[in-house]
Amino acid sequence: MELCSLCGGKMEEQKVEVVKKVNNNLIVVKDTPAWVCVQCGERYYSIETVKQIERILKDAGEKKIEFHEILAGEVSFHRQVVSA
């Protein structure tokens, strides 16, 4: 069994969501196979999976595939914190 290269934790095969911004659209690639560390959450993808994600994102950016629109919010990391 492979161990996480960051923390040495156990890896589990899971289906995850990959979220990327393409042409000002947020694209969520669901059911993506990945190895995920159960200790720190680091994700690892096979070369084939990375190539497929890249094809999906390219096609989505070129409007070659149909995708369902979802509502998403965006906030800056540097937003001002409001004290309660």
Beta bridge partners of 60: none
Separation between Cα atoms, residue 45 and residue 40, nearest integer Å: 16
- Listed as ranges, residues in the chain with pLDDT below 50 are none
Separation between Cα atoms, residue 84 and residue 76, nearest integer Å: 19
Residue among 27, 31, 32 nearest 57 (CA): 27
pLDDT of residue 1: 65
Separation between Cα atoms, residue 21 and residue 6, nearest integer Å: 26
Cβ 11 vs Cβ 36: under 8 Å: yes
Residue pLDDT, tens place only, 7-30: 999 999 999 999 999 988 889 999
